[in-house]
Amino acid sequence: MAVSTVQDLSSLEDAFHQKMSALQIMSDIRGHWGGDTVDEFEALKKELQFMQQEVSLQKKVIAQGRSDIKAAFSLLEQIQQLSSIVSHMQENLPEHLPQAGKNQSGVSGNNKSDKEKDTCAGKSNSQEKAPMKGNSGKSKHIPSIQYITVEEFDGVSKYIKGRLLYEQINNAVDEVNKAIETKYSLMTRPRAKLSEFDMKIVTACKLQENKETKGFYFVVDNDIKRWSNMKLDPAGRSMLTVLRTLKRLREIRGPGSLIRYAVS
């Protein structure tokens, strides 16, 4: 068997022993070492050198294989960890998911012109309802507050949010949005469709408007109590403060103790 034709280490060992056995037989028959015997040893030497090279190459292949297996196990462990994280996220998705790519502020700055405010008031977003028709017959969009993100909530100072939870703040967003929608849906209804009681409410709401509220939609304490399930206890007040801190709402005060919670 030629050494160059073997397929594995076991075959190499068998070929080597065959060569040695053949040389031993030749030596016993001849009784001495001739020139052809030296040639046989030279050939054997070359084959041994070839075997050493092959064994060295096989060791490198095995070492690389072990390294690849170790890397594969490391990747498998990372994939399993990521899978566990994704599964946990899927099982614990918050009820309120802020919309990506939207303006998260929810309010206009003081430096905006009335035209810009009216434009913002007419914008639709993922939380806005269908356009409502006012007495003028023109369609109006009722704006709403965007949900806050976990990062925003974590960025609020502890002394402001106290023991409030992230979910509580977004529940408050829902309640304020409900009050805003109900209020302005009522205010845009034709007079002929308003009861005497509703007409009194609409009149009172319009009396709360002034030049500072132009371009803004707002609610006051009575609106929140009347049209939402949000309690204006200390916790409820703190939620409104958080929303104001995160610029989801702005306060427009006066006259007197009247406070308007406005969104543009």
Same domain, 198 and 126: yes
Same domain, 69 and 164: no
Q: How many domains does the chain have?
A: 2
98 in a structural domain: no
Rounded-to-integer distance, Cα 241 and Cα 58, Å: 71
105 in a structural domain: no
Residues 93, 94, 99, 105: is their CA dihedral positive or negative?
Answer: negative
What is the CATH number for 169? 1.10.10.1890
96 in a structural domain: no
Compute CA distances 57 → 10, 14, 88, 159, whole Å: 15, 19, 46, 68
> Strand order in 250-253's β-sheet?
217-219, 259-263, 250-253
Same domain, 205 and 242: yes
Looking at 59, 91, 123, the residue that finishes a domain is: 91
Length of the chain: 264
Tracing tokens 């009681």 back to the chain, one arrives at: 197
pLDDT in tens, 229-263: 999 999 999 999 999 999 999 999 988 889 999 98
User: What's the pLDDT at 5?
Assistant: 62
- Structural contact between residues 246 and 145, judged by C-beta atoms closer than 8 angstroms: no
Same domain, 79 and 180: no
pLDDT in tens, 4-41: 565 666 777 777 778 778 777 776 766 655 666 667 77
Whole-prediction pTM? 0.53
Same domain, 172 and 86: no
User: What's the pLDDT at 24?
Assistant: 74
* Domain that residue 65 falls in: 3-91
**Could you give phi then psi for residue 241, rounded to 5 degrees?**
-65, -40
φ/ψ region of 193 (left if φ > 0, alpha if ψ in -120 to 50, else beta) reads alpha
